[in-house]
Amino acid sequence: MNRTGHKRRLRPSYKALALVSALALGGGAVVIAAQGASAGQDKARTAPVTATIDCPDVGEQLSEVPDEARPEVDRELAGLDTQIADAYQRLATGKAQGGALLGELKGQRDAAIGRMSDAIGRTTARPDGLAQLSACAMREAPTGNDDEGLDGTNALAGPAARSGSGAPAKGGPARGDFVAIGSVKPNVRAPKPKSTASTGSIAVQCGRNENRHLNPDNVIVAPGVGNGAHHMHDYVGNKTTDAFSTNKSLAASGTTCTNGDQSTYYWPVLRLRDGKAEQDAAAPGGGQDANVGTILRPKQVTTDFKGSPVSRVTAMPRFLRIITGDAKAFTNGPANANASWSCTGFEDRQLKDKYPICPKGSDVVRTFTFQSCWDGKNTDSANHRTHVAFAAADGSCRSGFKAIPQLVQRIVYAVPPGARFAVDSFPEQLHKPVTDHGDFINVMSDALMANAVRCINGGRSCR
């Protein structure tokens, strides 16, 4: 098993913590406080914090899975996510307490990991070390006053606040997860193109999900499993993508892209934490998984494929799958995180682990910059990462990888001034900005991809 990049994380001690209350809205959060707090203690330790469940990411540690075993392994990995989500819901609603809950969860994970290892072992050697990944721990994070907006006013605005029908969206991001974009220094650095660079680009017009293609599936990570993401996704491009899509069904689907590109582009929705009941308030991926509030429709979505600063690009294979970012980065750590949050007019300042507070007249921007180096052989990999890679700081691909057109998506939202918002997430990830991510399956025809490569390598801007 590939252990590259796997580091032991220090777990916080919870012996000094006592459960205070459970907030039930949308499977909210568990608020805990330090025992024995005194006026002389650090205020940060006496402030309320949110408890969540931190489990090792088994999927990240799978470097090789035989094709014959993949369906079963994918189902078991999705089952692990469901176990964590269910455990978090029980913790958040006060139906279980930490110690007993973690013991029960470990037993469930032991069984699932055992079945996964058996499936792999029927074709090749059983993977080493997976059993060590079954134990989970409690983790704390600061929580905030969800009643208060980012401008100090009541976060519940409009009819819901006036009628009393709304309720604050507990379990959302804390005030400390936001920062005024004006206080951030410019931090975008791009390598200087060499004479051998491919300087062209192609823009694909696929709309803003006007047809409301939404579901909580993830056909890349959890194929064949409904609600495999435990959060809602926006889709553009391929019109039929869901958990049960196949290469054949994707190739037969219609598309929202004006050039006929049948690729599927999807990302977690962004919501106002306004206490209003969205259409999925009682549904899987929505309220059942702690994703609550009004889903924001993008104001603008741009989808561009760009070149390499050091070389020509080669065509992507059809059905290549790429995930950028890490939906579990809050508990996994930032190694695979690739969130880029900013504001219009300030996009030379990109935030990875904070949401931006934009000035009046400026909109929130999410940018997904996908991996641009490919191993030249595989359309996917066991952990959905190792078949593609990011270029080095100078723009070059490492040995054995070749440059492909780089997908860059930019999604703009008109967020009301002072409003608290959050990206949908797995419930235990607490809607942290660092968990933002984007997904892509290339379903361009060979002719469309060849045209994209010609435009990029020829230094032209095409549509």
235 lies in the same domain as 277: yes
User: Under a CB-based contact definition with an 8 Å cutoff, are residues 341 and 364 in contact?
Assistant: yes
Q: Is the dihedral of CA 190, 191, 194, 196 positive or negative?
A: negative
Residue 410 CB-half CA count within 13 A: 14
Cβ–Cβ < 8 Å for 462, 201: yes
- Decide: residue 18, CB within 10 A, 0-12 exposed, 13-18 middle, 19+ buried: exposed
Q: Is the dihedral of CA 247, 248, 250, 251 positive or negative?
A: positive
181 and 303 in a single domain? The answer is yes
Specify the residue for token string 């660092």: 434
The H or E element spanning position 321 is strand 321-325
Q: For residues 101 and 193, state if they share a domain.
A: no
Q: Are residues 74 and 192 in the same domain?
A: no
Whole-number CA gyration radius for the chain: 22
Neighbours of 64 (CB within 10 A): 14
Torsions phi, psi for 50 (to 5 deg): -105, 130
Phi-psi region of 378 (alpha: psi -120 to 50; beta: other; left: phi over 0): beta
pLDDT at 144: 57
What's the pLDDT at 99?
A: 87
Residue 297 counted as domain residue: yes
Residue 22 inside a domain? The answer is yes
CA atoms within 13 A on the CB side of 129: 12
> What is the helix (H) or strand (E) element at residue 250, kind and residue range?
helix 247-252
Residues 345 and 265 both lie in one domain: yes
For residues 87 and 169, membership in a common domain is answered with: no
Tokens encoding 121 = 């072992």
Residue 1 lies in a domain: no
Q: Is residue 151, in this structure, part of any structural domain at all?
A: no
Report phi then psi at 389, rounded to 5. -155, 160
Structural domain including 448 reads 160-462
Q: Across the strands, what pairs with 389? A: 373
**Whether 364 and 442 share a structural domain:** yes
Give a yes or no: residue 21 inside a domain. Answer: yes
For residue 415, give the amino acid letter.
V
State which of 142, 177, 211 marks the end of a domain: 142
Structurally, the chain folds into a number of domains equal to: 2
List of E strands, 333-457: 341-343, 355-357, 364-369, 373-374, 388-389, 402-403, 406-413, 421-423, 437-441
**Do 224 and 276 lie in a common domain?**
yes
Q: Is 366 inside a domain boundary?
A: yes
User: Of 80, 113, 142, at which residue does a domain stop?
Assistant: 142
CA 449/CA 444 separation, integer angstroms: 6
pLDDT in tens, the chain (463 residues): 333 333 333 333 333 222 322 322 233 445 443 333 333 334 333 345 578 999 999 999 998 999 999 999 999 999 999 999 999 999 888 888 878 999 999 999 999 999 999 999 999 999 999 999 999 999 887 765 555 567 655 544 443 333 333 333 456 788 899 999 999 999 999 999 999 999 999 999 999 999 999 999 999 999 999 999 999 999 999 999 999 999 999 999 999 999 999 999 999 999 999 999 999 999 999 999 999 999 999 999 999 999 999 999 999 999 999 999 999 999 999 999 999 999 999 999 999 999 999 999 999 999 999 999 999 999 999 999 999 999 999 999 999 999 999 999 999 999 998 899 999 999 999 999 999 999 999 999 999 999 999 999 999 999 9
Same domain for 411 and 269?
Answer: yes
Q: How far apart are CA 360 and CA 186, in angstroms?
A: 19
Type of residue found at 407: L
Q: Is residue 448 part of a domain?
A: yes
Q: Are 348 and 298 members of one domain? A: yes
pTM above 0.75, yes or no: yes
Q: Tell me whether residue 5 is in a domain.
A: no
Residue-by-residue DSSP string for 21-87: EE--TTS--EEEEETT--TTS-HHHHS-EEEEEE---TGGG-----GGGHHHHHHHHHHHHHHHHHH
How far is 333 from 125, CA to CA, in rounded Å?
29
Query: How far, in Å, CA of 32 to CA of 34, rounded?
Result: 7
Q: Are residues 333 and 213 in the same domain?
A: yes
In this structure, are 195 and 68 located in the same domain?
no
Question: Residue 418 contacts by C-beta under 8 Å, 6 or more apart in sequence?
Answer: 149, 150, 151, 152, 153, 155
